[in-house]
Structure 1
């Protein structure tokens, strides 16, 4: 991503909060500000989307439910027409179909990030299965 110099004046209280938060996160003010603006714009563009911290970093999620990557991963395993698949996922996650559509719309605009999160989860699941199999083999001997 190419950066472009931009200058903004921030309220002194906001600036102090930004400094404190960046220091607490071990980040720079610029990096934190960019993240907050990017996430804020995403949340404005896709009402119902929030960002959460987790073991793999920050990720987009439905405010009322799962991470976006979880919905899209499940979508890959559903069949039928578009509305049928949305209904199946709404039932599976216990959500209104509009929430599933919100997740799909968000993912459509952030495909590479969501695909990467799904791939990371798939790899972690494979590693967990392999460890469980080795553990079972060890216990059986």
Structure 2
């Protein structure tokens, strides 16, 4: 375990590492000493600009909320999916809201979609799918594969 920490320390750039001696004055309220005098990227004047740029970039990246993702309703009853064929827009993320009306659990499974999700009997689960190129993608209920089958069609 200790070796793992040493490997991580080596990966940190020299500029990002602060020693205890450099941090001690900060705790006392003093200004942070420039660890490499003459290096403009480490000057105290440059640090606020880097922090501001990082914050602006972080705020610019706001992931889409769940409400913005196309949702398809799917029901599993008597070990059969309804509807058996789902149409979704191609090249867009979407999610399947699977309601299992059977008393027993089943696993939504698709090698085509690269997803597996167990949904308990009488429960609802959300299956998130990454953007798909146009085509047909098979899925099944793994515990009842003979009857629980369906297809996603991306258009």
Question: So what's the TM-score if we normalise by structure 2?
Answer: 0.22
More strand by share: 2
Q: Which has the larger radius of gyration?
A: 2
More helix by share: 1
Which structure has more relative contact order (CA 8 Å, sep 6+)? It is 2
Question: So what's the TM-score if we normalise by structure 1?
Answer: 0.23
